[in-house]
Amino acid sequence: MPLMMKGLMNMDPWRSFKGTTWRQRIDVSDFVRENYEPYYDTPTFLSGPAERTKGLWDKCQALMEEERKANGVLEIDTKRVAGITAWGPGYIDQDRELIVGLQTDKPLKRMVNPWGGWRMVEAACQARGVEPDPDMKKIFTRYRRTQNEAIFRIYTPAMRQARHLGLITGLPDAYGRGRLIGDYRRVPLYGINFLIEEKRKDLYSLDNVDDTTIHLREDIADQIRALERMIEMGQSYGCDLSRPAASAHEAVQWLYLAYLAALKEQNGAAMSLGHTSPFLDIYIQRDLAEGKITEEFAQELIDQLAIKIRLIRHLRTPEYDELFAGDPVWATEALGGMGEDGRPLVTKTDYRWLQTLRNLGPSPEPNLTILWSPRLPQAFRDFSVELAIETSALQFENDELMRPIFGDDYAISCCVSATRTGHDMQFFGARVNLAKALLLAINQGKDENTGEQVLDVPKLDGEYLEWDQVWSNYEKVLTWLSVLYSRTMNCIHYMHDKYNYERAQMALIDSNPHRHMAFGVAGLSVVADSLSAIRYARVKPIRNDQGIAESFEIEGTFPCFGNDDDRVDGLAVKVLRHFFASLAKQPIYRNAVPTLSILTITSNVVYGKKTGATPDGRQAGKPFAPGANPMHGREKNGVIASMRSVAKLPYEICRDGISYTFSITPRALGENTEERVKNLSRLLDGYFGAHGHHININVYSRETLIDAMERPELYPNLTIRVSGYAVHFTKLSKEQQQEVIERTIHERM
């Protein structure tokens, strides 16, 4: 592998590239704009799997099967602390690996990452029957404070209570917050030496005026250190990252090693790759034109990059797995989209990424995301939709909605959250449970499960729930919650920056980036339907002796979210507007701009478990619908009506993304493949035209899922989309599987 690098040492890495601005300063967007070639044609040029890569993948699959048999974890390295240069080089099968680099020295071997918190490490190790190294424990409990410890020291009693009751959940207070996307393209384009020079300029341009600038200067100094480590790590693999990449092979390799540096250092929940295909395509096209590589080789580069991404593992606790099963990393790669100059950003490499699903089989990772526009080339629309139907592994997001806000060089952080590559960062804010908040409004501010007093809310009088009273209480609870929530976030991210700073990723982002505070909500459709029941039917709470409503009797009917009925859809919007307006008034750490997501991934099951019966008729402990989805079985008017309801949720306040998961049987989508592609493309146009933001596409039958639950060994690659990402169905917990099966799968008999 280092062979090819040597041969290129004397070549001008920027030969035949056009444009000037990007040469003077870091501006990858300008480089891409000046040099990429849109591709308008059909996928007929694509290559199937190459022998070498197929052999490599077979080996990986065998390893993954071993991992599955070992209850999901093959090996843990308990001796070393995660870091960019913690391990020497590791290989799967050196002769077959075109793209090298592993998180540790062996595939699927997991790192211990104590920076986030020691208890998490211990719990995760013990759950797997191993003990972490005693010296390491000593360091991270006695001498070095962790993010987790620091946060818990300054949590207020109210924050701890909201956390343990499940009112504010999924908080990144014990592991990496993730969600950052380094502009990994900078490494192949400029080489790290240049990036260090630029960072030094930034560092020296600032003086230690006040705590804000000192903080920033320390950040930049840390970033420079990470860049130096990246060079060192590259050297161990025989790659000279200090200089720009001179070939397609090097470009893919450099990009991956930059991403790998982040993965070696951070165990963030979501670590997107970015929107790299037009960039990589420039290098591939140049090598093809120079006659240096073939299409088969070009495809191999992307296939092998995909393989590496499919092998990413982090050490997690069983509680984490209960929230997010199946080792998700949300290595999201955005494809498609339109350039601001009117040319599609679709290149042959976008097709090559999609082709990995055929060459290697469907898989949740990388989380391939199509930035959809009605103006995308027809052939690309057809191909991506065809693959979505074939694999249930793709998600689509509305480029027409995001581009005006984020420009055309944005990527998707995690699942649905647009980020300007290299210019933005975000503070991941998990989410609050809106349904539990509603129960506080009904139960005088007492938690419905424990009876604990959480806040003071006026008592509701009368046998039935009165709309005016409930809404007035709910507004009070939401306002109170927005204060508590934003302060909890401030405290988490202050400490995260201090004790678990993502220097490798931040080194590939502008020194003083635009920051978002990404708040989130769960249980929106439960709340909308509950409010609708209170408003349009008669709801009688059945209260226990503490005055807590344990169940609800509903008399009459009420409109449910998901049926294109403005009466209830408007209630969902009303809740979002109130909550966001109140969040936006709160002071936010580092002047971050607040955004909001409606996203749960698989955590809707756990949130439901922690929530008592709700006025919509949902029983205590039952799962919520995922993300922004209507509740299971309440969509009576078919998929378009469901899509229209979701599309009414306002993106202007939910800029962190609105996740909608759509499942349909093949027959209900159309009689044959051609019809299905036509129908689904049109549904996407309709949904996005109505300002829908995101959609997961699942095309399968319930019977397939039930069979896969009973005979998982027959379905190792069955991939399904949950809220915002994809998973291997068989890696979900039984409860999560059951919930997926109970979801609305659109069909008409």
Partner 1 sequence: MGRIQSIYSFSTVDGPGARTVVFFQGCPVGCIFCHNPDSWNFFGGEEISVTDLIRRIDRFRPFLPSPPGLTLSGGEPLAQVEFAAEIGKKARAEGWHVAIDTSGYGSKADFARVVKEVDLVMFSIKHPLHPEKITEIKPEPVLENLRCLAELRVPVWLRYVLIKGWTDQPEALKALGNLAAKLPNLRKIEILPFNGLAENKWTDLGWEFHFTQDQKPVVTEEDIKAAERIVYAQIKAYRASTACTAMRS
- Name which of 434, 513, 401, 411 is nearest 179 in CA terms: 411
* Least distance between partner 1 and beta carbon 641 (Å): 4
746 is a site residue for partner 1 (CB under 8 A): yes
31 vs 700, which CB is nearer to partner 1? 700
Q: Measured from the CB of residue 635, what is the shortest distance to partner 1 in angstroms?
A: 10
> End-to-end CA distance of the chain, in Å?
56
Among 72, 638, 712, 716, binds partner 1 (CB under 8 A): 638
Piece of the chain touching partner 1 by CB under 8 A; list 221-229, 337-345, 679-687, 703-711: 679-687
Establish if 1 lies at the interface with partner 1 (CB under 8 A). Answer: no
Give 277: exposed, middle or buried? Use CB within 10 Å, 0-12, 13-18, 19+: buried
Q: Under the criterion CB under 8 A, does residue 641 sit at the interface with partner 1?
A: yes
* DSSP reduced 3-state for 625: coil
Contact positions with partner 1 (CB under 8 A) in 299-328: none
Task: Choose which of 353, 519, 687, 725 interacts with partner 1 (CB under 8 A).
Answer: 687
Which residue, 126 or 637, has its beta carbon nearer to partner 1? Answer: 637
Q: Of 414, 491, 560, 654, which is the active-site residue?
A: 414
Decide the pairing of beta strands 719-722 and 725-728.
antiparallel
Task: Give the C-alpha separation, 627 to 600, whole Å.
Answer: 5
Q: Which amino acid is at 735?
A: E
The encoded tokens of residue 739 equal 């919930």
Residue 654 designated active-site = no
For residues 691 and 125, give the distance between their C-alpha atoms in angstroms, rounded to a whole number: 45
- Tell me how many degrees the CA angle 630-635-639 measures, rounded to the nearest 5: 95
Cβ(338)–Cβ(375) under 8 Å?
yes
What burial class does residue 588 get, using C-beta atoms within 10 Å of its C-beta: 0-12 exposed, 13-18 middle, 19+ buried?
Answer: buried
Q: Which one of residues 686, 691, 707, 712 is an interface residue with partner 1 (CB under 8 A)?
A: 686
For tokens 């007093």, the residue is 453
Amino acid at 118: W
Quick check: 89 binds partner 1 (CB under 8 A)? no
60 counts as catalytic: no
For residues 371 and 368, what is the distance between their CA atoms, to the nearest angstrom?
10
- The residue among 209 and 749 lying less far from partner 1, judged by its C-beta, is 749
Show the site string, 690-729: x = touches partner 1 by CB under 8 A, - = not. Answer: x---------------------------------------
Buried b (16+ CB within 10 A) or exposed e, 283-308: bbbbbbeeeebeeebbbbbbbbbbbb
Please report whether residue 556 would count as binding partner 1 according to CB under 8 A: no
689 binds partner 1 (CB under 8 A): yes
The SS3 of residue 593 is strand
Residues 557-576 that bind partner 1 (CB under 8 A): 564
Residue 83 or 666 having the CB closest to partner 1: 666
To which H or E segment does residue 192 belong? Answer: helix 192-205
**Which of 644, 699, 645 shows the shortest CA–CA distance to 668?**
699
Nearer to partner 1, 55 or 638 (CB): 638
Residues in the chain: 749
In the complex with partner 1, the residue whose CB is nearer, 573 or 641, is 641
For residue 340, the 8-state DSSP code is T
Shorter beta-carbon distance to partner 1: residue 156 or 672: 672
In the complex, least distance from residue 525 CB atom to partner 1, rounded to whole angstroms: 18
CB of 663: closest distance to partner 1 in angstroms?
A: 13
- Whole-number minimum distance, CB 384 to partner 1, in Å? 17
Of the candidates 60, 125, 239, 415, the residue annotated as catalytic is 415
Q: Does residue 584 touch partner 1 according to CB under 8 A? A: no
Out of 147, 679, 698, 736, name the contact with partner 1 by CB under 8 A. 679
C-beta closer to partner 1: residue 543 or 691: 691
CA–CA dist 658, 344 (Å, integer): 24
DSSP H helical ranges for 419-458:
434-442
From residue 189 to residue 228, the character string flagging contacts with partner 1 as x (rule: CB under 8 A) and all else as - is: ----------------------------------------
Residues touching partner 1, count (CB under 8 A): 28
* Secondary structure (3-state) at 205: helix
Q: How far is the CB of 106 from partner 1 (least distance, A)?
A: 49
CB of 487 to partner 1, least distance (A): 42
The set of residues, in sequence order, having a beta carbon less than 8 Å from that of 85 and lying 6+ positions away, is 229, 232, 233, 236
Structure tokens belonging to residue 177: 């917050």
Do residues 700 and 676 lie in contact, with contact meaning Cβ atoms separated by under 8 Å? no
Min separation Cβ 690 and partner 1, Å: 7
Binds partner 1 (CB under 8 A): choice among 65, 93, 675, 742: 675
Among residues 166, 172, 153, 156, the alpha carbon closest in space to that of 115 is found at 172
Asked whether 529 and 565 are in contact (CB, 8 A), the reply is no
- Which of 515, 678, 691, 702 forms a contact with partner 1 (CB under 8 A)? 678
Question: Active-site residues: which are they?
Answer: 414-415
**Binding stretches for partner 1 (CB under 8 A):** 564, 636-644, 667-671, 675, 678-679, 682-683, 685-687, 689-690, 746, 748-749
